[in-house]
Chain A
């Protein structure tokens, strides 16, 4: 099918301002948006820059705004867009470095703030720590996060203030807070209840809609809020 592809372009060494460029292309409905970007880079304009690696939605490299929604370019097929107009822009709220590449450092900085690692100083047994399937299930959903930033950069609170920790950081905090093996829930809940924490979340649901891993982010944030207000992890 024929498509009209509109791409956000910005080369800091040449452009004063960002601009858009439109390409008329022949593509297949089952093409990934990533395949189409590769085609443009390979055959039309070698300077087009974007990140990618796995090409099947598990590494989190290629979060972009595709027709106004945050998605992974490799996990979005042309046919999913129901039309032949495609607009691709960088995710919002992070500084654009070049074309579709943004500065991810503030995002990872926020992630590190929530102590995203298991904390348990009790001596470990010789074999595994036991955990019932039910206890394991309690935080299953939030273990799926690939840190692509689709959620955080779809959030109006983050656009307004990039020190707002954002949904991805909350998801990763949730993953440990509700892990029966972890012992630092209180410490994390304190961080999350501070100024840039969960109370800036206005339950807009953008994050949940944006998540390519279909994590129920708003629900997870709700559970964190409840844990803070009740002081209980039940």
Chain B
């Protein structure tokens, strides 16, 4: 076993982790540990854009961005943190540009912007162009650019090291234990500050836009060390995944004028969101699709719809909506313009569907997409562990694994990339600052024991259960019962099933007993994380007897501010889940009914 010493350890090399590392490494010895090569991180999959009220194309203000985010969160987001993020957004995007990010450009050479769901002009209520984009590969460009900057600044990387455990000593973070994938050797990283930036857990559900790597490792590791997770019942389903495959079709398609149609050829979003229609918030659109489907208006009676971005259709509806270009002329597009703004989407359609999106509509269905809940933090990325927001010294979290909470019950598109760069930066700064005044906590003698025990338990189980079976059964029951619409009965069915699966997981058969890239073992360990989180999510969801944002219950269809204007905190100890609450920070905006 090797031991390494650093001031700051960053776990995860996506947008949040790299941003934290860039900032921390300016003043502190820093290393990034990542189970994937940094450029494989899921940030690279983000398509549509990063939100910031630059106002490059039309009037816009951070205050409007703040209000839209509060409203989008269904008032569960913490308003102080949201305001902070939306104010920081403008400079954060300029900073990315200065790092070299190749944003698409306006004719004047400024960063180009497009409309996205839930982002509005607060006076007219109409969609506003706020998403700063690089074609439809904004996340790819953010990830590449930040990685390039890390190379430039000689940041240390431990690539293909998987963190299995977090060390907490004397009530403070002391480091992590990681498995080197190419050798199966355990390494202890002894540090004054630890930043978790490990992404989400969207692999719990059957139809998902999320990468295989989205197995909830960071959240699960923290939970196992007795820390709470916040608002885990809130998980976003994005309206437009490719039918059956779940691959994401960015909201940018609707931003560019694409329209959703049901089996009768109706633009059904008109009914559900008369003002912004197809550009309503994601939870609203996904629910509308489900409602249409239940009422038999899915295409051919099935559970999908058409997303149509053929130029003739875009132009017809743009004229009906009175949509204008920034110079005041009517909004008219050609097939070439659509392809040039959405080249990757066109490519996905051709490869996976055999469809050309400018000549044929795309079959889409809601797909599991984004983890709103996670490790609770304050707006500086410091992890907080109770209803008093008590800080755990030396421990930070940022990005999709964290819950600040700026997304509340429903995240607005483009706000995750923004979350990464804002809170990644602040977590990195704080982590470095903390390490300056702190001494290393002593390492316990048995530092690697808990990690080793977890792996050995799996490796040595004499059972015959398969990772593939358990995983399939989990995904299916969670998609059916803890998905877009939920009921107590359905969720109880899911809970029973997931508990059974957790038992069966104890008896998994690991065929690979080797040390070199034992992905058999790693897959099994990751599945354990997903199951643990699936159970917790379901318990939190059953407990919240209201509908808010992405958590929609048939048996409690209304938002209930009197009883539920609060965050959930959940702990797991010895297999038992305990729930608590903490208040929502409300500063300027009193909760109102949410209409689009």
Q: Which residues of A line the B interface, CB within 8 A?
A: 11-14, 30, 38, 41-43, 45-47, 49-61, 75, 77, 97-98, 101, 104, 108, 112, 116-118, 124, 126-133, 135-136, 139-140, 143-147, 176, 179, 181-182, 214
A117 vs B518: C-alpha distance in the bound complex, in angstroms? Answer: 34
Q: Is the CB of A47 within 8 A of B520?
A: yes
**Chain B residues, CB < 8 A from A51:** 40
**Chain A residues, CB < 8 A from B104:** 133, 136
A54 vs B37: C-alpha distance in the bound complex, in angstroms? Answer: 13
**Chain A residues, CB < 8 A from B140:** 58, 144, 146
Q: Is the CB of B213 within 8 A of A53?
A: yes
Q: Is the CB of B40 within 8 A of A118?
A: no
Stretch among B230-238, B280-288, B344-352, B403-411 lining the A interface? B344-352
A56 vs B211: C-alpha distance in the bound complex, in angstroms? Answer: 9
Q: Is the CB of A46 within 8 A of B37?
A: no
* Listed A/B pairs (7) with beta-carbon separation below 8 Å: A43-B468, A53-B40, A56-B352, A132-B105, A136-B103, A140-B102, A147-B39
Whether a CB of chain A sits under 8 angstroms from the CB of B309 is no
Whether a CB of chain A sits under 8 angstroms from the CB of B207 is no
Task: Given the known inter-chain contacts A55-B211, A118-B100, please indicate yes or no for A97 contacting B39, CB distance below 8 A.
Answer: no
Q: Is the CB of B137 within 8 A of A61?
A: no
- Give me 11 other A-B pairs in contact (C-beta within 8 A), A58-B344, A75-B351 excluded: A11-B516, A38-B468, A46-B509, A49-B516, A53-B212, A60-B39, A130-B108, A132-B107, A132-B109, A133-B105, A136-B105
Whether a CB of chain A sits under 8 angstroms from the CB of B515 is yes
A143 vs B145: C-alpha distance in the bound complex, in angstroms? Answer: 10
Q: Is the CB of A126 within 8 A of B94?
A: yes
Q: Is the CB of A98 within 8 A of B517?
A: yes
**Chain A residues, CB < 8 A from B347:** 57, 214
Task: Given the known inter-chain contacts A117-B149, A128-B103, A131-B109, please indicate yes or no for A59 contacting B45, CB distance below 8 A.
Answer: yes
Q: Is the CB of A52 within 8 A of B212?
A: yes
Closest to A181 in B: B100
**Chain A residues, CB < 8 A from B307:** none
Interface centre among A49, A53, A101 (most CB of B within 10 A): A53
CB distance from B399 to the nearest CB of A (A): 16
Q: Is the CB of A46 within 8 A of B100?
A: no
**Chain B residues, CB < 8 A from A101:** 517
A23 vs B54: C-alpha distance in the bound complex, in angstroms? Answer: 56
A49 vs B514: C-alpha distance in the bound complex, in angstroms? Answer: 11
Q: Is the CB of B109 within 8 A of A60?
A: no
CB distance from A92 to the nearest CB of B (A): 19
Whether a CB of chain A sits under 8 angstroms from the CB of B487 is no
Q: Is the CB of B151 within 8 A of A117?
A: yes
Of the candidates A11, A50, A57, A179, which one forms a contact with B100 in the assembled complex, judged by CB atoms under 8 Å apart? A179
Closest to B344 in A: A58
Q: Which residues of B line the A interface, CB within 8 A?
A: 36-37, 39-42, 44-45, 54, 94, 97-100, 102-111, 134-135, 137, 140-141, 144-145, 148-149, 151-152, 182, 211-213, 245, 247, 344, 347-348, 351-352, 466-468, 509-512, 514-520
Of the candidates B42, B137, B517, which one forms a contact with A54 in the assembled complex, judged by CB atoms under 8 Å apart? B42
Of the candidates A54, A57, A129, A145, which one forms a contact with B351 in the assembled complex, judged by CB atoms under 8 Å apart? A57
A75 vs B344: C-alpha distance in the bound complex, in angstroms? Answer: 12
Task: Given the known inter-chain contacts A47-B514, A58-B45, A143-B141, please indicate yes or no for A128 contacting B94, CB distance below 8 A.
Answer: yes
CB distance from B503 to the nearest CB of A (A): 20
Interface centre among A11, A60, A117 (most CB of B within 10 A): A117
Q: Is the CB of B98 within 8 A of A129?
A: yes
A51 vs B109: C-alpha distance in the bound complex, in angstroms? Answer: 40
**Chain B residues, CB < 8 A from A116:** 148, 151
**Chain B residues, CB < 8 A from A13:** 514-516
A218 vs B148: C-alpha distance in the bound complex, in angstroms? Answer: 23
Ranked 6 nearest A-B pairs via Cβ: A118-B100, A42-B468, A46-B511, A130-B109, A117-B148, A47-B512
CB distance from B324 to the nearest CB of A (A): 20
Of the candidates A54, A126, A131, which one forms a contact with B105 in the assembled complex, judged by CB atoms under 8 Å apart? A131
**Chain B residues, CB < 8 A from A126:** 94
Task: Given the known inter-chain contacts A42-B467, A56-B45, A57-B351, please indicate yes or no for A47 contacting B511, CB distance below 8 A.
Answer: yes
Q: Is the CB of A144 within 8 A of B97?
A: no
Q: Is the CB of A127 within 8 A of B94?
A: yes
Interface centre among A126, A129, A139, A145 (most CB of B within 10 A): A129
**Chain A residues, CB < 8 A from B40:** 51, 53-54, 59-61
A57 vs B348: C-alpha distance in the bound complex, in angstroms? Answer: 9
A29 vs B389: C-alpha distance in the bound complex, in angstroms? Answer: 53
A61 vs B351: C-alpha distance in the bound complex, in angstroms? Answer: 18
Q: Is the CB of B102 within 8 A of A143?
A: yes
Task: Given the known inter-chain contacts A45-B511, A46-B511, please indicate yes or no for A54 contacting B45, CB distance below 8 A.
Answer: yes
Q: Is the CB of B44 within 8 A of A58?
A: yes
Q: Is the CB of B212 within 8 A of A43?
A: no
Q: Is the CB of B211 within 8 A of A117?
A: no
CB distance from B505 to the nearest CB of A (A): 15
Q: Is the CB of A61 within 8 A of B36?
A: yes
Closest to A213 in B: B347
CB distance from B45 to the nearest CB of A (A): 5
A135 vs B104: C-alpha distance in the bound complex, in angstroms? Answer: 11
Interface centre among B103, B110, B351 (most CB of A within 10 A): B351
